[in-house]
Structure 1
Amino acid sequence: MVEFAPLAMPQERRLQTLAVLLWVFSFLVLTQLCIAAFIGLLCTRFWLCAVLYVAWWCLHRHTLRRGGRCVEAVRCRVLWKYLRDYFPTVLVKTAELDPSRNYVAGFHPHGILGTSSFLNLCTESTGFSALFPGIRPYHMTLPLFFRVPFLRDYFMFFGLVTSDKESGAHVLSRKEGGSLLAIVVGGAREMLDARPGAYTLLLRHRKGFVRLALEHGAALVPIFSFGENELYGQVKNPPGSWLRQIQNQLQQVMGFSLPLFHGRGVFQYSFGFVPYRWPITTVVGKPIEVQKMLHPSKEEVDHLHQRYLKELCNLFETHKLKYNVPADQHLEFC
Structure 2
Amino acid sequence: MKTIIAAYSGVLRGIACTLILMYILCTDCWAIAALYLAWLVFDWNTPKKGGRRSQWVRNWAIWRYFRDYFPIRLVKTHNLLTTRNYIFGYHPHGIMGLGAFCNFSTEATGVGQKFPGIRPYLATLAGNFRMPILRDYLMSGGICPVNRDSIDYILSKNGSGNAIIIVVGGAAESLNCTPGKNSVTLKNRKGFVKLALRHGADLVPVYSFGENEVYKQVIFEEGSWGRWVQKKFQKHIGFAPCIFHGRGLFSSNSWGLLPYSKPITTVVGEPITIPKIDNPSQKDVDFYHSIYVDSLIKLFDKYKSKFGLPETEVLEVN
Tell me if TM exceeds 0.5.
yes
Encode CA deviations 1:185-214: one digit per residue, 9 max, x unaligned.
Answer: 111222111110112211111111101100
Q: State the SS of the aligned residue for 2:187.
A: coil
Aligned partner of 2:82: which letter? P
1:141 corresponds to which residue? 124
Count of residue pairs brought into register by the alignment: 317
Quote the Cα distance in structure 2 between the aligned partners of 1:54 and 1:273: 32
2:295 corresponds to which residue? 311
Aligned residue among 211, 230, 233 for 1:250: 233
Question: What's the CA shift for 1:332?
Answer: 1.7
Aligned residue among 248, 253, 256 for 1:265: 248
Quote the Cα distance in structure 1 between the aligned partners of 2:294 and 2:155: 24
For structure 2, the residue ranges without an aligned partner over 5 or more in a row are none
Whether the aligned pair in 1 keeps the contact of 2:14 and 2:137 (CA below 8 Å) is no
2:173 corresponds to which residue? 190
1:84 corresponds to which residue? 67
Q: State the SS of the aligned residue for 1:220.
A: strand
TM-score (norm 1): 0.91
Question: What's the CA shift for 1:100?
Answer: 1.1
Question: What's the CA shift for 1:224?
Answer: 0.4
With 47-56 and 278-287 compared, the bigger mean Cα shift is at 47-56
Aligned residue among 288, 297, 301 for 2:281: 297
Aligned partner of 1:95: which letter? H
Question: What's the CA shift for 1:242?
Answer: 1.9
Question: What's the CA shift for 1:47?
Answer: 2.0
1:69 corresponds to which residue? 52
2:22 corresponds to which residue? 39
1:5 corresponds to which residue? none
Question: What's the CA shift for 1:43?
Answer: 2.0
With 175-184 and 288-297 compared, the bigger mean Cα shift is at 175-184
Aligned partner of 2:213: which letter? E
Q: Once the two structures are aligned, what percentage of the paired residues are identical?
A: 45
Aligned partner of 1:326: which letter? P
Matches within 5 A, 1:106-145: 106-145=89-128
For structure 1, the residue ranges without an aligned partner over 5 or more in a row are 1-13
Question: What's the CA shift for 1:253?
Answer: 2.5
Quote the Cα distance in structure 1 between the aligned partners of 2:13 and 2:3: 20
Asked if residue 178 in structure 1 is aligned to residue 161 in structure 2, the reply is yes
Whether the aligned pair in 1 keeps the contact of 2:205 and 2:292 (CA below 8 Å) is yes
Whether the aligned pair in 1 keeps the contact of 2:184 and 2:316 (CA below 8 Å) is yes
Q: State the SS of the aligned residue for 2:279.
A: coil
Over aligned residue pairs, what C-alpha RMSD do you find?
A: 1.5
Aligned residue among 296, 301, 320 for 2:304: 320
Encode CA deviations 1:67-117: one digit per residue, 9 max, x unaligned.
Answer: 000000000011000110111111111111001111111011111111000
Aligned partner of 2:291: which letter? R
Question: What's the CA shift for 1:137?
Answer: 0.2
Aligned residue among 218, 243, 251 for 1:235: 218
With 165-174 and 290-299 compared, the bigger mean Cα shift is at 165-174
Encode CA deviations 1:102-135: one digit per residue, 9 max, x unaligned.
Answer: 1111011111111000010000000001111000
Aligned residue among 160, 165, 173 for 2:148: 165
TM-score (norm 2): 0.96
* Structure 1 outlier segments of 4+, above 3 Å: 29-35
Question: What's the CA shift for 1:317?
Answer: 0.6
Question: What's the CA shift for 1:32?
Answer: 4.7
Quote the Cα distance in structure 2 between the aligned partners of 1:281 and 1:113: 15
Encode CA deviations 1:248-276: one digit per residue, 9 max, x unaligned.
Answer: 11222321111111111121122111111
2:266 corresponds to which residue? 282
